Amino acid sequence: MKQLVIGEYVITTPIKDILYELKAVCNGTKLKEIRPKGVNIQVTCPFHADGKESNPSCGIYVGDKSAEYGTFNCFTCGKHGSFVYFVALCLENTIEYAEKWLIAHYGVRNTEIDTRLNDLDFTLPSKNQTEYLDESILDKFQSYHPYMDTRKLSKAVCNKFKVKYDPVSESLVFPVWELNGKLWMLTRRSVKNKTFIIDKEKEKPVYLMNYILERNLDEVTVCESQINALTLWGWGVPAVATFGCNITSKQIDVFNHSGLRHVYMAYDGDRAGKKGIAKFLRNIRPGIMVDIICLPPGRDVNDLTEEEFNSLPIMSSSEWLSQKG
């Protein structure tokens, strides 16, 4: 049986199966077609035509003895190389990142899948990676505003996660850190209305995941908004937020590399929230147990009291999927 080898890891999953996973991760923007071509595989090239060519022109060699297993060659643009390079093109990232992605999803070492963050030394690659903020920027903001109380944000929680108030923009300011603990960006929530401001030029990390990893926690509740996550922390529930329910493939990678063993999904009780949960379940790695906290239609965590939240029904992922179907 042919296998890919990356350092100390062996990838035993068939390349065809990996291609379908890549297609899902890319949300259909790459690998529009995947089909057998003799003993090999023919796909639409992820490099030219922005991955949207009409006919597949890229060959991936999985059975041809004259070529190394997994190598690819596009007969239209001439792009060629290893399968790791092909994965990097699909993910629009570096070869190093592609190696870590393959290892995290399919790597086997000493007959066991190794997905601990420390073992992989995984850091979420981001555009403008070096443009971190100096935390001294937070010193110019105020430490408290009455709006915090109206949103169930206790002083203890705001101090813990350095949530501030900016009198100039009349908004709450939320520091957002990368996995390495460096300040990545500031988001804002107007105290006058529900306007939420986020830097659209920067990739969204998983809010407060750095805090979860620093403490080596193996259980977390996942929310859509930062305020929802902070509300849960005020109730003693470790939580993170994904800045909405349209979770990105890189955010899912963070969960897959995190060492978490149990995740509770607490997305909003609406159609978009259910769609986000379904996407999370499709892409989370085996070995992470996922349960769904069933929020009432049209309500989120911050709309509830602590007692109401604690009394919500919880479904296993399999039960939730069967009911959804």
Q: What is the pLDDT of residues 13-68, one digit of tens each?
A: 889 888 988 888 787 788 888 998 888 999 999 888 776 787 899 999 988 776 78
Q: Which residues contact 283 (CB under 8 A, 6 or more apart)?
A: 24, 25, 249, 252, 256
SS3 108: strand
pTM above 0.75, yes or no: no
- Matching CATH number, 135-324, of 3.20.20.10, 3.40.1360.10, 1.20.1560.10, 3.30.70.240: 3.40.1360.10
SS3 252: helix
Q: What count of other Cβ atoms lies within 10 Å of the Cβ of residue 1?
A: 4
Query: Given pLDDT bands bounded at 50, 70 and 90, which one contains residue 128?
Result: very low
Query: Given pLDDT bands bounded at 50, 70 and 90, which one contains residue 116?
Result: very low
- Matching CATH number, 4-114, of 3.90.580, 1.10.10, 3.40.50, 1.20.1150: 3.90.580
Instruction: Report domain extents, the chain.
Output: 4-114, 135-324
What pLDDT does residue 129 have? Answer: 47
Scanning the chain, the segments in alpha helix (DSSP H) are: 15-25, 83-91, 95-106, 117-120, 147-150, 155-160, 209-214, 226-234, 249-257, 271-283, 306-310, 317-324
